[in-house]
Amino acid sequence: MRQFMDDDFLLETRTAERLYHGHAEHLPIIDYHCAVHPRDIVEDRRFYHLTEAWVAEDPYKWRLMRTHGTPEKFVTGSATTPREKFQRFAEALSGAIGNPLYHWSHLELQRYFGIDWTLNSQTVEDIWETANEKLAEPNLSARGILRRFRVAVISTLEDAADPLIWTKQLQQTKDGLDTTVVPMMNMTNVLHIEDPDWGNYMQYDIGAAAGIEIMTMQDVRDALMKRIDFFHAAGCRTADHSLAYPVFAPAEEYELDDIVGKIVNGKDEATPEEAAKFQTALLAFLGHAYCKRNWVMQIHLGALYDNNSRFLAEIGRRAGFDCIGGYAHADGLVKLFNAMDLAESLPKLVLSSANPADRTMLATILDSFQGADMSGKLQLGGAWWFNQTKSGIEAQLTTLAEQQVLGDSIGMATEATTLFSYPRQEYFRRILCNFIGNLVERGEFPADFDDLGTIVENICYRNAAQYFGFALPEAYRN
């Protein structure tokens, strides 16, 4: 019987152990999609207790606690003490056999705090006290964490209208920080013209930031072009687009002007047909803009957000009440990508879905439009959100191996809201090395460890560095 969470955790073969410890373990991290706030890095934020560091900003943990029957006041409420909240989290976690949070949490205890005890009701007090003492050490401030985990690049998700004050301040006064911090442009609010707040958002956020009064579709394009150039100057090389499902509904320019005009003038809301026309035109425009700047377009599909209206009213958005949606993606994606391809405006692309049933379908669509100008131009994204489990990552790797070129993969983004999530990269790397190791042990791939080591290092680090074109810190350029 294996020891719980030993040095060879998740590594089932000698080949897997050799690949992980010899190649993947100490590689830098390129976190190309996360929701960490750059203000935390500017101010070198310190965390005062384990609840602040772990529970207060992590919807994954909130979902687990609610599933265990924890009252909301111990999850996101303010009427209890941090110690009580951590107690409730420990109680929920202790029975979460097979849940990735069980693995992530114990990896975090080991990697951040040097604690190898199992978290349960018997150990919770000792872990609370020991971890809180460790949090006072310099290597557990925001910058200390980035150094400790060798984070070469962190790309933080920022709304398209954001002034990037904190990012710019950080870039001007790095103070020895060996991490490149750049924004990732979030286009999601721009895309969803059906949202009742879209008109005000475009006028008073995007329009104001760009210095353009938005009345027509061309005004939308002009304002976004200015915002794209603004983000590009701050080091941005990728943009995110969150859609329930893709659509393709071409429209004439006058139709688009009528749609935009009636929304910004508050005359009516967009119909589903009008929203589809606007979204189609906008994605086509953005694809062209990204191609010109060599940006990467990231598209996330297939999630239903904020399903619990009672808690949406009480807590707000993105509080862990989301789920997988069952949508038909193929027709809209194929038509959209084909139109972009015909216009020579299909950019580098990372495509992900919250629904595991979409994996093979998405991979085959991407492979219908791969170009000869670069390897792995169109990427099936890493296991995302609900799929970021052991079996989900293994299934994603299987699809990548069977349908694309696994060695061209850019690995998996952390998708984190907190700086205490970097062991999730280790989790992925261990599963990757085990996946490849099993293929080798079964005689399905040659045991050439020079080639194997290169493949592992490329997937974990080098491919993403080259694909996104981020400016790497000098310490991580080799």
Which range has the worst mean pLDDT, 171-175, 274-278, 337-341, 348-352?
171-175
Task: Place 267 in a pLDDT band, splitting at 50, 70 and 90.
Answer: confident
What is the predicted pLDDT for the residue at 189?
A: 96
Does the structural domain 46-140 have CATH classification 1.10.2020.10? yes
Q: Is the model's pLDDT at 403 over the cut of 90?
A: yes
In the block, tokens 């680090």 appear at 461
Rounded Cα–Cα distance for residues 433 and 429 (Å): 6
DSSP string for 109-127? HHHHH---SPPSTTTHHHH
Extents of the domains making up the chain: 14-43+142-476, 46-140
Q: What is the mean pLDDT of residues 414-434?
A: 94
- Paired residues of 181 in beta bridges: 154
Superfamily of domain 14-43+142-476: Metal-dependent hydrolases (3.20.20.140)
Task: Place 410 in a pLDDT band, splitting at 50, 70 and 90.
Answer: very high
Q: Is the model's pLDDT at 430 over the cut of 80?
A: yes
Rg (CA), the chain: 23
Pairing of strands 303-304, 296-301: unpaired
Q: Is the model's pLDDT at 50 over the cut of 80?
A: yes
- Number of Cβ within 10 Å of residue 273's Cβ equals 12
Answer whether 343's CB lies under 8 Å from 434's CB: no
DSSP class of 463: H
What is the predicted pLDDT for the residue at 175?
A: 74
Q: What is the mean pLDDT of residues 225-236?
A: 98
Pairing of strands 29-34, 151-159: parallel
pLDDT tens for 18-49 read 999 999 999 999 999 999 999 999 999 999 99
Rounded Cα–Cα distance for residues 90 and 333 (Å): 43
The beta strand positions in 87-190, using DSSP E, are 151-159, 180-186
Answer whether 49's CB lies under 8 Å from 85's CB: no
Rounded Cα–Cα distance for residues 386 and 395 (Å): 13
At how many degrees (to 10) do helices 59-67 and 82-93 cross? 70
pTM over 0.75, yes/no: yes
pLDDT tens for 162-206 read 999 999 999 888 677 899 999 999 999 999 999 999 999 999 999
What is the predicted pLDDT for the residue at 176?
A: 76
Answer whether 462's CB lies under 8 Å from 407's CB: no
Distances (CA, A) of 354 to 186, 236, 240, 292, 357: 18, 25, 15, 29, 9
What is the predicted pLDDT for the residue at 71?
A: 95
Q: Which residues contact 451 (CB under 8 A, 6 or more apart)?
A: none
Task: Place 57 in a pLDDT band, splitting at 50, 70 and 90.
Answer: confident
What is the predicted pLDDT for the residue at 173?
A: 80
